[in-house]
Amino acid sequence: MALYSDLRGSIILVTGGANGIGEAMVRAFHSQDAEVYFCDLDKDKGARLSVELGEGVFFRKVDLTKEREICHWIEGIGRNRERIDCVVNNAARDPRIPIESMDSKQWDNLFQSNLKACFLTCRESLKWMKGPHGSIINFSSITFHIGPSDMSAYVATKGGVIGFTRALAREVGPRGIRVNTLSPGWVMTERQLKEFVNSSVKRQIKKDQCVPKLIQTEEIAEVALFLAAEASRAITGQEILADRGWAYS
């Protein structure tokens, strides 16, 4: 894993950091000696991870569909540390629901956890992002480019993330804060492997990608490190696809 010396001691927030790609990012930022504040609904996994990593890693149970919980979490960090350097909006849900059986409550809930939470986390964190540098990384998905069936609401939320990111990059750019979208391809998280990825799906993924090798969570975490670090200072308002060349192959 690359070492970015400017990340040492920086204050990093990660949402949904107890599992999957989020967990890999918590580990990766910790390995750079950053101070990592992560939240999740999964209290047991979050607490276990923060105990395992020890110094410099702080977990809080937050339900990102609750505005008050987001505000309390971020205000606590801001007041304590008096600055925030990087925010990673990673948490999301990706249910498969055919359009005919999706009710409007399910649609609204998905927008709340996948898009509104991203807006609220940015708004609250920006109060403490004082520049001259800062990085916000919002997670979208390869599905925005592929458009798979039974995922219309999820894909709509992820399209929203890309639009939100582009406009926010323009708005906060004058303060030295960069905002980018990170869109993973199909990543072999514990949950994806349990629920969706069997051996025939693996074969198909390898055929769809330019490079036929399954993507692991640590590889996405490495891209997040780059986007957080000054090494990527010329990049803002962009969508970075980390999909081994699936979307446009």
Ligand X SMILES: NC(=O)c1ccc[n+]([C@@H]2O[C@H](COP(=O)([O-])OP(=O)(O)OC[C@H]3O[C@@H](n4cnc5c(N)ncnc54)[C@H](O)[C@@H]3O)[C@@H](O)[C@H]2O)c1
Closer by beta carbon to ligand X, 20 or else 78? 20
Q: How far is the CB of 22 from ligand X (least distance, A)?
A: 5
3-state secondary structure 139-201: ECCCHHHHCCCCCHHHHHHHHHHHHHHHHHHHHHHHHCEEEEEEEECCECCHHHHHHCCCHHH
Q: Does 41 bind ligand X (CB under 6 A)?
A: yes
Kindly state the DSSP code that residue 132 receives in the 8-state scheme. S
Backbone angles phi, psi at 223, to 5 degrees: -70, -40
Asked if 37 is an active-site residue, the reply is no
Closer by beta carbon to ligand X, 113 or else 236? 113
Closer by beta carbon to ligand X, 16 or else 78? 16
**Binding residues with ligand X: total (CB under 6 A):** 28
Q: Does 18 bind ligand X (CB under 6 A)?
A: yes
Tokens of 39: 């939240």
Q: Is 52 exposed, middle or buried (0-12, 13-18, 19+ CB in 10 A)?
A: exposed
Q: How far is the CB of 151 from ligand X (least distance, A)?
A: 10
Three-class SS state of 41: coil
Q: Does 142 bind ligand X (CB under 6 A)?
A: yes
Q: Does 191 bind ligand X (CB under 6 A)?
A: yes
Q: Does 94 bind ligand X (CB under 6 A)?
A: yes
Q: Which of residues 54-83 bind ligand X (CB under 6 A)?
A: 62-65
Kindly state the DSSP code that residue 224 receives in the 8-state scheme. H
Residues that bind ligand X (CB under 6 A): 16, 18-22, 40-42, 62-65, 90-94, 113, 139, 141-142, 184, 186-187, 189, 191-192
